[in-house]
Structure 1
Amino acid sequence: MAQIDIEKIVQQVVSQVLSQNAPEPSESETPSPRSVNEKDMVRRVAIGSDHTTVEHKEILKNYLQSIGYTMVDVGPFSKERVDYPDYAAAVARKVANGDCDRGIMLDGAGIGSSMVCNKVRGIRAALCYNMKTIVNSREHNNANVLTLGGPLHSGAELCEMAKLWLETRFGGGRHWPRINKMMAIEREERLYGSK
């Protein structure tokens, strides 16, 4: 697809997302306001895809840049066939090593990328498919990588989902012991393996 076509699509999607007047979420769906500390601030976001979702990645990347995020694109940069595990691992490693605050990975369904990202120590990748799972993945599970099935959503939906995911804060409180247990299992498995 020509560069001019991608820019035109991005402009249309950004305009559509910004002009949408979505209905107000119910009280149970509305994330409660949280104090924002330095650890909560999201500035740099790693993004990657497989070859089938390069155009979805470009739409999402350009939209997120337009609203102030610094995007670190790990590729691919063409529709030439690639293996999604290579790019999912690259996104996860950018987050795990602290180069990026969060990561987003797109592939055909988001399933395989989620599996790959969760193999990287310190990553809590969540495959989300609607706004409720987006909020839950952040508020309850403190997910630091989002995986999405690009073709399962419109460009506007991808943008809206990613924006909400990046803005939703971890709830803390009763969720901390569960996150600590999750990470303890990761440490134990690495030390002792399955018996």
Structure 2
Amino acid sequence: MEKIDFKKTLKALYAPAAKDFALVEVPRMQFVKVDGHGNPNAAPAYKAALEWLYGVSYALKFAAKALGKDYGVPPLEGLWWAEDNAAFTAGAKDQWNWTMMIMAPEFVTPAMFEAAVAKTGKKLGEPPASLRLEPFDEGLSVQILHIGSYDDEAPTIRRLHHEFIPQNGLVENGVHHEIYLSDPRKTEPARLKTILRHPVRRQ
């Protein structure tokens, strides 16, 4: 059975080589998602969200494998925003809103998702109210590969918003998006790889 590797089949989206800003066209995909609010380093809801996302995603992987379709679980992703954008750029994490998510292949059905939630619930209990399988159509986006600590992203994010986007005749068209290519439990902060992405549209 051939195992699908999304870092190869969707290389531009999940394994970019360049560290410079690049425009990408992100296709419509589906994700397992959980919403929340607050500092991800302290909010219990954030820890629970990740437990459920990984639990359901691996249950989906095993269910798909039983049907003859094997794949590597894609990386964790996060959408981030704040009611006052200054709170986001200033790092006021207690004021952040987030949607954490993991991509589910197109052959994953709602029935498979419901079964995966039930299976995960035997271990984790009651699922978060916002847990869902949902399509996400990001479209035209600008992204860059950041290597280093999450707390060191701010200068790159400022360049993205105040230099690259306006200088290229673009406007923001959504919220800040991060894709976590490294496991922070096993990788020192200076070597973490994170894709920073923002959807845009042409003026």
Q: What TM-score do the two structures reach when normalised by structure 2?
A: 0.25
The structure where strand makes up a greater share of residues is 2
Q: What TM-score do the two structures reach when normalised by structure 1?
A: 0.26
- By relative contact order (CA 8 Å, sep 6+), the higher-ranking structure is 2
